[in-house]
Amino acid sequence: MSAGAISIWVVFILHLIAMRFFWYWNFAWFDMVMHTLGGLVIGLVAYGICIRWSRWSTAVMIIASISASLFIGYLWEVNEFIVELYTGANLQPSIADTLADLGFDMLGAALAAGIAWIINRNTT
């Protein structure tokens, strides 16, 4: 299994544990950490895919990795909305919470872009 797949599984399992033990509700900061971590992991995985399968410039690969991270974050928020709609769970207490989640996804994507830029700068 690749490092990217392992990273995604680690974040997913951490999410399941957090749901089971109510970390999102007991620790207000935990949601911020998870969205940042998710944005970072997805951004790095997307960048790794770009390096392996494309001949794009570094700038285009970084934009693609940020876009992938934000798109997955958007899909996650849509998922939370649908689950809340059909189950009544309080996953999105406000628009501000949803926008903050997307902001932390962007922070993680920006961190991934910075790491990707440093990695590429040191290999060329």
Tell me the pLDDT tens digit for each residue of 107-116: 999 999 999 8
Whole-angstrom CA distances from 52 to 15, 48, 61 are 28, 6, 11
Does 60 score more than 80 pLDDT?
yes
Quick one: the chain helix, strand, coil %, rounded to 5?
85, 0, 15
Question: What pLDDT, on the 0 to 100 scale, is given for residue 124?
Answer: 57
Average pLDDT taken over every residue of the chain: 92
* Count of the separate structural domains present in the chain: 1
Q: What single-letter DSSP state applies at residue 14?
A: H
pLDDT band, very low/low/confident/very high, at 101 (cuts 50, 70, 90): very high
Domain coverage including residue 19: 3-123
The Cα–Cα gap between 71 and 79 comes to: 12
- The Cβ-side half-sphere exposure at 47, using a 13 Å CA radius, reads 26
